[in-house]
Structure 1
């Protein structure tokens, strides 16, 4: 597979899943002590990656759980932020400035701060009250966030089958390697067909809306300098659909939660207008060893794996490195 280091991928993923005992101990302690608000704090991609877990809590729990933008939290504040707040942060590098400052801000208000990162000596790790550390460069953080949120909901009596789910999740690194293998020819074909496409229209919903936002902004825009429009499938018929034309590249991310019909509806309309509609559907991947009732929870992980293959092939056909930046961490701002 193009640009895929299988041993490294397996080791990084396994290191995240191996945090289960620490995550369980932490969650159990927090529940026993009691808290009222959970803030999932991020910046850019790590903010978008929090949305599936806000979505999970919103549909399953009475606990106040919100995804918030680190920089906005600092300047706007939050009336419910205080000693009964738990704030969770993630950072691949451990040095994301907005997140570092947000940790300081949350602690100044009395909140208990948790960080997930791959660098134990980084500011995101050392400034938080507790850091749970995986191998360097481990991405995405869905492994850890899935364990954290499902354990939390289970302790509150709002999630059934946690032990079985967490046990099955231990096999996800190998499962995702098989997903990558299956996606490789699909990714190559998409890249070849779209090597000269300079605009993509992305649609997703439910627990895939965060990934839709992330892939549009952080990959296609930031890493490939391509213009995009991204819209939630539930909001598709309220403005953005007017941008569709016969040759518009439409990318649809389809999952397996209760919002699937909303994305189906958007896809049906898009196909009436555009002749270039591509659907990446998690149902296409077997996920051997995962119970049917848990598949929907894994949709962000599955599509991250699939679309990482697409990203590598776009990098190849467009001769545009995924590491190339003009402004991000290049210029002061």
Structure 2
């Protein structure tokens, strides 16, 4: 597979799963302590990737939990954010200025700060109260945030399938490799078809809305300098649909949670008005060793494994490295 290091992938994913004992200890601390709310604080992709976990709490728990954009949160924090709050951060590099500023802000309010990163020596790891260290380069959000959220809800009696989920996560590194293999030729075909396409329309709902937002902004826009529209499937029929034309490239992200009928409706409409519709359906990918019970929660990870193949093939056919930037961390702002 293009630009795919199997050993690196497995090491990174296994390092995320191996954090479970530490995460369960933190969940016990939150559950047994004075804490009354939780905030997933992010910037860009780390905010978008936290949205599924906000949703998990909102649909299953009475415990207040929010995903917030850190820089805005500093200027307009919740009145309830303080010494009995938990602030969770993730950073692959551990050097993102916005996130470091948010950690300082959270600590100034007395909140318990928890961070996931891959480098013990970075400023991020040194700033948080509790640091969870992954293999360098591992995406620090999905598995650790899901483990923390599910275990805390389990302790509260609001999530009954935690033990099954733990077994599923153990199988996930190898399962996602199988997903990547299956998706690679699809990603290659998409890239070859869209070498000259400069605009894409993306839609998703439920646990996949955060990934839809992330892929549009962080990959197609930031890493490929392509124009996009991203809209939640429930909002699709309230304005953005007017941008559709027969040759509009549309990417639809279909998950496996209760919001899927919203995307079925979008797909039925879009395929009538565009001849260039790509459906990424997580239900179409096998996850060896993973139960059906928790697939909805794992949909962002499935979609990420699929779209990683799209990204690398796009970068190749467009001769545009995924590491190339014009402004981000290049100029002052």
1:75 aligns with 2:75: yes
Runs of 4+ in 1 over 2 A off after TM superposition: none
Structure 1 residue aligned with 2:207:
207
In the TM superposition, what whole-angstrom CA distance separates every residue of 1:127-155 from its partner, at most 9, and x where no partner exists? 11110000111015211111111001101
Q: Deviations over 1:2-26 (max 9, x none)?
A: 0001100000100010000000111
Conserved? CA contact 1:140–1:301, under 8 Å = no
Give the Cα–Cα distance (whole angstroms) in 2 for the partners of residues 283 and 303 of structure 1: 10
Give the aligned partner of residue 169 of structure 1. Answer: 169
Instruction: Tell me the distance in 2 between the aligned counterparts of 1:147 and 1:77.
Output: 26
Q: Give how far 1:167 is off.
A: 1.8
* Segment of structure 1 superposing worse, 236-245 or 75-84: 75-84
**Residue 291 (structure 1) aligns with:** 291
Residue in 1 that maps onto 2:219: 219
Q: Distance in 2 between matches of 1:295 and 1:172?
A: 11
Q: How does 1:1-333 map to 2 (within 5 A)?
A: 1-139=1-139, 141-333=141-333
> Contact 2:90–2:140 (CA<8 Å) still a contact in 1?
no
- Asked if the contact 1:204/1:253 (under 8 Å) is kept, the reply is yes
SS in 1 for 2:325: coil
Report Cα offsets for 1:9-57 as digits up to 9, x if no partner.
Answer: 0001000100000001111122111311100000000000000000111
Gaps of 5+ in 1: none
**1:53-93 per-position Cα deviation (integer Å, ceiling 9, x unaligned):** 00111000011100000111111222111011000000000
SS at match of 2:230: strand
Q: Secondary structure at the match of 1:246?
A: coil
Q: 1:164 Cα deviation (Å)?
A: 1.8
Describe the SS at the equivalent of 2:62: coil
Give 3-state SS (helix, strand or coil) of 1:176's partner. helix
The SS at the match of 1:230 is strand
For 1:300, what is the secondary structure of its paired residue? helix
SS at match of 2:90: strand
Give the CA deviation at 1:123. 1.5
CA contact (8 A) 2:250 2:276 kept: yes
Paired residue secondary structure (1:15): helix
Contact kept, 8 Å, 2:91 with 2:140, in 1: the verdict is no
SS of 1:293's partner is coil
Change in 2 beyond 3 A, CA 1:276/1:239: same
TM-score by length of 1: 0.99
* CA deviations over 1:192-247 (Å, ceiling 9, x no partner): 11111000000000010000000000000000000000000000000000000010
Higher alpha-carbon deviation: 138-147 or 261-270: 138-147
Q: Conserved in 1, the CA contact under 8 Å of 2:117 and 2:132? A: yes
Choose 108-117 or 137-146, whichever is displaced more.
Answer: 137-146
Q: Is the 8 A contact 2:115 2:131 kept in 1?
A: yes
